[in-house]
């Protein structure tokens, strides 16, 4: 009988398993209502997962084992009286600014003003990318090793890596509407930035995969049909993710894509990207593709890490469960 860790890794690698791995998500937004004394201080606590009885998946324990610096860019962060957070990047070519408002609980924030506001701003971003230097973060590597030791044979640990350049632009620099207009009006300018971002990401993957002790790499990409078209996925997303998968596999790592949104019209393209598994393939009502549909589209080339919607878990019946999956 394999260990939980060995069985989990076998599933992600599309090998025969002794049983179907099952993991209960524990984070700031998802925790049991009652826990024994001593549990619950760490929102991702491995001991909570052991208490629940599932396979352990430490989603953040592997960390980001690479540190960065931009020696010719000055970054400042200020909190204004209304609680909004304002970030400024000063480059020799010009300035980029970003504003965000934290939500009341402080777990996340909503961007109210994106850094790229006009086509010339891409040059400032590209300067920042070219100015970035990566080094191994030995402290983070040591922390990842400690988490791996704590998980032991009870499960696996994720090491986080950069998202695709197209998703990085949409979520961090432009928002979707700005990017779509700029791709139509000044495609060369945007694509120059995308090429530079991809080259930098490849450096990160090489360095991180070489040094992380984690066996599984995750990309928190979340490409979905609400923000990226099939044509954009084929042109900008698949080539980048395929390169990252190749780097991971060269270092013996399994490559997992986190994508918990709506995937109809895109899932059949995912096997072309070379990923090993899709984390949180969500059926309705959260997503729009059932596990059966995803299984047919993947043709055995991807492991489906299915995420059961909370309403099904809370109010569902075996009949509804079968229909949904």
Between CA 249 and CA 276 the distance in angstroms is: 10
Give a yes or no: residue 120 inside a domain. no
Regarding whether 76 and 210 lie in a shared domain, the answer is no
Could you tell me the pLDDT band of residue 309, with boundaries at 50, 70 and 90?
A: low
Rounded to two decimals, the pTM is: 0.94
Q: Is the pLDDT of residue 324 over 80?
A: no
SS3 174: helix
Give a yes or no: residue 208 inside a domain. yes
Alpha-carbon distance values, 257 to 49, 69, 158, 321 (Å): 22, 26, 11, 24
Regarding whether 175 and 106 lie in a shared domain, the answer is no
Regarding whether 182 and 304 lie in a shared domain, the answer is yes
Give a yes or no: residue 181 inside a domain. yes
Regarding whether 251 and 102 lie in a shared domain, the answer is no
Range of the domain at 103: 71-115
Regarding whether 314 and 219 lie in a shared domain, the answer is yes
Could you tell me the pLDDT band of residue 48, with boundaries at 50, 70 and 90?
A: confident
Say what angle helices 187-211 and 176-185 make with each other, to 10 degrees.
120
Nearest CA-CA partner of 229 in 184, 278, 198: 184
Q: Is the pLDDT of residue 220 over 80?
A: yes
pLDDT > 70 fraction of the chain, expressed in percent and rounded:
92
Regarding whether 171 and 187 lie in a shared domain, the answer is yes
- The per-residue pLDDT for range 90-126, each reduced to its tens digit, is 999 999 999 999 987 667 889 999 999 999 999 999 9
Give a yes or no: residue 262 inside a domain. yes
Are the C-beta atoms of 251 and 209 separated by less than 8 Å?
yes
pLDDT of residue 13: 96
Averaged confidence pLDDT in the chain:
91
Return the CATH number at 279. Answer: 3.20.20.210
Could you tell me the pLDDT band of residue 52, with boundaries at 50, 70 and 90?
A: confident
Regarding whether 281 and 241 lie in a shared domain, the answer is yes
Give a yes or no: residue 281 inside a domain. yes
The stretch 307-317 carries a mean pLDDT of 69
Regarding whether 267 and 210 lie in a shared domain, the answer is yes
On the question of a cis peptide bond just before residue 216, with omega within 30 degrees of 0, the verdict is no
Q: Is the pLDDT of residue 152 over 90?
A: yes
Regarding whether 22 and 80 lie in a shared domain, the answer is no
Between CA 186 and CA 188 the distance in angstroms is: 6
- The per-residue pLDDT for range 159-184, each reduced to its tens digit, is 999 999 999 999 999 999 999 999 99
Give a yes or no: residue 125 inside a domain. no
Regarding whether 205 and 294 lie in a shared domain, the answer is yes
Give a yes or no: residue 126 inside a domain. no
> What is the number of domains present in the chain?
2
Regarding whether 205 and 93 lie in a shared domain, the answer is no
Give a yes or no: residue 293 inside a domain. yes
Q: Is the pLDDT of residue 29 over 90?
A: no
- The per-residue pLDDT for range 189-212, each reduced to its tens digit, is 999 999 999 999 999 999 999 999
Q: Is the pLDDT of residue 319 over 80?
A: no
Domain boundary among 81, 115, 149: 115
Regarding whether 250 and 110 lie in a shared domain, the answer is no
């Amino acid at each position: 009988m394999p260990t939980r860790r060995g069985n989990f890794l076998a599933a992600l690698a599309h090998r025969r398993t002794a049983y179907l791995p099952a993991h209960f998500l524990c984070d700031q937004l998802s925790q049991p209502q009652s826990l024994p004394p001593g549990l619950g201080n760490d929102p991702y606590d491995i001991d909570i997962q052991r208490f629940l009885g599932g396979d352990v998946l430490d989603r953040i324990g592997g960390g980001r084992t690479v540190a960065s610096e931009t020696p010719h860019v000055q970054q400042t962060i200020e909190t204004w009286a209304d609680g909004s957070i304002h970030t400024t990047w000063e480059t020799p070519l010009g300035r980029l600014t970003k504003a965000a408002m934290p939500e009341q609980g402080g777990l996340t924030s909503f961007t109210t003003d994106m850094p790229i506001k006009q086509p010339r701003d891409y040059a400032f971003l590209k300067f920042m990318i070219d100015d970035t230097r990566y080094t191994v973060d030995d402290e983070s590597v040591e922390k990842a090793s400690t988490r791996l030791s704590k998980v032991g044979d009870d499960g696996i640990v994720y090491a986080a890596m950069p998202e695709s350049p197209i998703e990085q632009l949409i979520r961090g620099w432009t928002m979707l509407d700005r990017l779509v207009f700029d791709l139509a009006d000044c495609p060369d300018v945007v694509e120059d930035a995308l090429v530079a971002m991809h080259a930098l990401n490849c450096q990160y993957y090489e360095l991180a995969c070489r040094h992380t002790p984690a066996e599984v790499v995750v990309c928190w990409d979340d490409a979905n049909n609400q923000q990226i078209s099939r044509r954009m996925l084929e042109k900008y997303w698949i080539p980048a993710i395929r390169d990252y998968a190749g780097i991971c596999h060269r270092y013996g790592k399994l490559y997992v894509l986190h994508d918990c949104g709506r995937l109809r019209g895109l899932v059949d393209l995912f096997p072309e990207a070379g990923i090993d598994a899709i984390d949180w393939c969500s059926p309705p009502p959260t997503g729009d593709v059932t596990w059966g549909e995803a299984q047919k589209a993947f043709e055995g080339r991807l492991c489906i890490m299915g995420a059961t919607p909370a309403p099904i878990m809370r109010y569902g019946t075996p009949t509804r469960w079968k229909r949904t999956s």
